[in-house]
Amino acid sequence: MDKETNCLITIKSLYNSFSKSEKKIADFIMDNTSAVINMNVGELSKKINVAQSSIIRFCQNIGLLGFSALKINLAKNYTQSKQYILDEIVLETDINNPKLIMSKVFSSLARSLEETTEIISNETLEKTVDLLCSAKKIVFFGVGTSATIASDTYYRFMRIGLPAYDATDPHIMLLSASMLDKDCVAFGLSHTGRTIETIRAMKIAKENGAKTICITSYGKSPITKICDLPIITSSSENKLMHEAITSRIIHIALLDSIYTCISLRKYDEVKEKTENMHKLLESVRLPN
């Protein structure tokens, strides 16, 4: 983790990969941020009944040198973190206020977009664009709600001349992955990073020599361990709404950013294709 990155974002991203004791530490830190800032490691150890050594290892696991570095990071980001808590949807008080719920959902989305720009490096984006621009064939893999994103991304990339395809049926995913080689890119989309069909397809693609990229909301999830270039996004989903659409919007926005980078790099070619596409599509639209 970059020392400037809000460690609460990292904790949330890695949460599913934590052990039972690490989740205990993470839960206390996220729910009692201001208290942790004023504790020493011994006090925290007694408060949550976890060994001091486990707390130090937890800090190192999220990319910090130790507990002091954790407290400095929390103090730097405390005001922002406090606002996150205020934005949580509360069943008992918010159920009869749909406008407030909408406001909180929108705030969560805006926050996740901001966090994602913070945690994804310029180097990662550049490598992604390089691989996609030089690929002989690109296949986007996804099932469930990620399937619609895979299909939409294929359509958009195909329109600007990239050799893009999508595979969203579990059987077709396996066959498509088996036909990729070292000059191809397999691009997996999975919010949790634990979708069996997508992971299986990415493994087959990798075994055949294809470059592998994935987008997921959780660091150290299974799909990140098999991909050459894992891209981790933020997802500030409310505790009441697991698998919310927020995470999907983040993935779409990130893919749109990659699409824009490629379009700018291949500007003259893309401009011509886009103009031709608009002319073709005008024939199936009602006149103004």
Domain boundary among 64, 84, 104: 84
pLDDT value for 94: 74
**Domain count along the chain:** 2
Q: pTM higher than 0.95, yes or no? A: no
Q: Which residue has the higher pLDDT, 99 or 168?
A: 168
pLDDT for 148-206, tens place per residue? 999 999 999 999 999 999 999 999 999 999 999 999 999 999 999 999 999 999 999 99
Does residue 69 surpass a pLDDT of 70?
yes
**Co-location of 32 and 137 in the same domain:** no
Q: What is the CATH number of the domain that holds 231?
A: 3.40.50.10490
Does residue 241 surpass a pLDDT of 70?
no
How far is 278 from 157, CA to CA, in rounded Å? 15
Domain boundary among 84, 105, 140: 84
- Please indicate, yes or no, if residue 134 is contained in any of the structural domains: yes
In the three-class reduction of DSSP (H, G, I as helix; E, B as strand; rest coil), residue 185 is classed as strand
Q: Which residue has the higher pLDDT, 244 or 68?
A: 68
The single-letter code of the amino acid at 27 is D
In the chain, % of residues over pLDDT 70: 90
Residue 211 β-bridge partners: 185
Angle 252-258-262 (CA atoms, 0-180°, nearest 5)? 140
Does residue 81 surpass a pLDDT of 70?
no
Residue 76: which domain range? Answer: 1-84
> For residue 147, what are the contacts with CB-CB under 8 A and spacing of at least 6?
168
**Co-location of 237 and 142 in the same domain:** yes
pLDDT value for 85: 45
Q: The tokens of 98 are what?
A: 């749909």
pLDDT for 276-285, tens place per residue? 888 888 888 8
pLDDT value for 86: 45
pLDDT value for 288: 76
Q: Which residue has the higher pLDDT, 135 or 99?
A: 135
Q: What is the CATH number of the domain that holds 15?
A: 1.10.10.10
In the three-class reduction of DSSP (H, G, I as helix; E, B as strand; rest coil), residue 4 is classed as coil
Does residue 267 surpass a pLDDT of 80?
yes
pLDDT value for 105: 81
pLDDT for 29-52, tens place per residue? 988 998 999 999 999 999 999 999
> For residue 188, what are the contacts with CB-CB under 8 A and spacing of at least 6?
141, 142, 198, 199, 201, 202, 212, 213, 214, 215, 223, 227
